[in-house]
Amino acid sequence: MKICCIGAGYVGGPTMAMIALKAPSIEVRVVDMNAARIAAWNSDTLPIYEPGLDEVVKERRGKNLHFSTDVAGSIKVADIIFVAVNTPTKTYGIGAGRAADLRFIESVARTIAEHANGPKIIVEKSTIPVKTAETIKEILRANSSGHTFEVLSNPEFLAEGTAIKDLLAPDRVLIGGEHTPGGEAALQALVDVYAHWVPRERIITTNLWSSELSKLVANAFLAQRISSINSISALCEATGADVDEVANAIGKDSRIGPKFLKASVGFGGSCFQKDILNLVYLCEHFRLPEVAAYWEWVVKMNDWQKHRFAERIVASLFNTVADKRIAVYGFAFKKDTNDTRESPAIAVCRDLLAEQARVTVYDPKVPEREIRAEILGKDGTAAGHGAETRLTVAASPYDAAVDAHAIAVLTEWDEFKTLDYAKIFARMCQPASVFDGRNILDCAKLQTLGFRTHAVGK
């Protein structure tokens, strides 16, 4: 069997590497028009950071795992074609700010139709709106030379930072297909690929539409839990309750459980906000305004939490941060990844810079050019005029702390828990404050060193 994956990003690269590792009899090709990205996959420095990914790629690369820009040639020889291209939120026209932008999906479908030389199984791996499979099939029918195509939905449920672990032992693998002879055969072919290492009882098969919708709903439910506990964190601060203690108490209820009840400065990443807004748009399209409003408030609560955190920093520093230096620890949206998409750190840094603060950012995996681009925006004014001169990036957390009035912990990197905070305190302006946006530090211990401490919900 030969597999081609179009899209060498956070989904396509790790997923195909795992298939190559666990099914050495299958030839796997990951293709992308971005030559620089493909070159990185073929180098010693992969384009994404994910614990364990280097080892998997190096084990199979050049054997049954190949990275290439030859999209047309790879389509021709493939039996199964995975589509793992980006589906960002539209920024223009109908559905702007909510609907998924499917231009890349359509482009891939047309490319497959153009170069396919026989029957193919097309697998939707990208996060897409319900009924996208119908669009893909229509494009294939209209543009191919009479070849037969079966379209399957196989959404990813990877958490960045634990993607390799999630791929090795997934909670479930979801595959949706049509209940026709061809659809059933295609579905079984994909089931057989995953069955190389995933127990059959964890491979769930559904119809196409259930599979497409399940991805959006799963992310919406997870994000809802985060926004819910973050709303309670504000109440905890107002009443003197401890949000960690509240979360622990309610998490012991077997009907609720403890996962995704960690109060923080807010959720980020490429999926949660995008998928919820897509769900909102679908509900509006199907004339369900009450349902749309319900889910939209999950995103609004998340945005409010980010701005509330920045406002708390300002209020705690005597209601002004003008010309004060704030050290920001962490810029990736979560630990063990270099992904900054929708990171809460972006909003917090912009708010602080808009208040005329001097912001110094340190992150162990995110390069300076990306930090500056995310905060300042394409035209350099997203954080206000003059922000570029007040934004710096440090090479270490100790350098970031020099002459700082406060530290804001915005990513839960493990290294932040074990720093020499006595050494850091000595480098800072006095009084020195720590704002723990991820609730990962020992505030009591920091107080003994002289810090004024502030944690979410405490």
**CA dihedral (404, 410, 414, 418) positive or negative:** positive
Which tens digit of pLDDT belongs to each residue from 261-291?
Answer: 999 999 999 899 999 999 999 999 999 999 9
User: What positions carry a catalytic annotation?
Assistant: 271
Contact 263, 234 (CB under 8 A): no
Mean predicted confidence (pLDDT) in 378-385: 89
pLDDT of 133? 85
Quote the DSSP letter at residue 112: H
Span 32-84, pLDDT tens digits: 999 999 999 999 999 999 999 999 999 999 999 999 999 999 999 999 999 99
Separation between Cα atoms, residue 71 and residue 68, nearest integer Å = 7
pLDDT of 441 reads 97
List, in sequence order, every residue forming a beta bridge with 435; answer none if it has no partner. Answer: 408, 454
Residue 281 has a pLDDT of: 94
Host H or E run for residue 350: helix 344-354
Alpha-carbon distances, residue 80 vs 29, 77, 147, 222, 416 (angstroms): 11, 9, 14, 31, 44
Q: What is the 3-state secondary structure (H, E, C) of 252-301?
A: CCCCCCCCCCCCCCCCCCCCHHHHHHHHHHHHHHCCCHHHHHHHHHHHHH
Q: Which residues contact 261 (CB under 8 A, 6 or more apart)?
A: 225, 229, 247, 250, 251
Q: What pLDDT was estimated at residue 251? A: 97
Q: Could you tell me the two tokens for 206?
A: 């559904």
- CA nearest neighbour of 242 among 38, 455, 451: 455
* Digit-coded pLDDT (tens) for 205-234: 999 999 999 999 999 999 999 999 999 999
Half-sphere exposure (CA, 13 Å, Cβ side) for 352? 34
Q: Which run of H or E residues covers position 20? A: helix 12-22
Strand partners, 360: 327, 392
pLDDT band at residue 144 using 50, 70 and 90 as cut-offs: confident
What token pair was written down for 132?
């996208």
> ω into residue 364 within 30 of 0, thus cis?
no
Burial class (CB in 10 A: 0-12, 13-18, 19+), 25: exposed
| Mean pLDDT along residues 169-187 | 96
pLDDT at 321: 98
The mean pLDDT of 141-169, rounded to a whole number, is 91
Question: pTM of the full predicted structure?
Answer: 0.91
Locate tokens 């127990």: which residue? 199
- 126 pLDDT tier (thresholds 50, 70, 90): confident
Burial of 184 from C-beta contacts in 10 A (0-12 / 13-18 / 19+): middle
Residue 145 has pLDDT above 80, yes or no: no
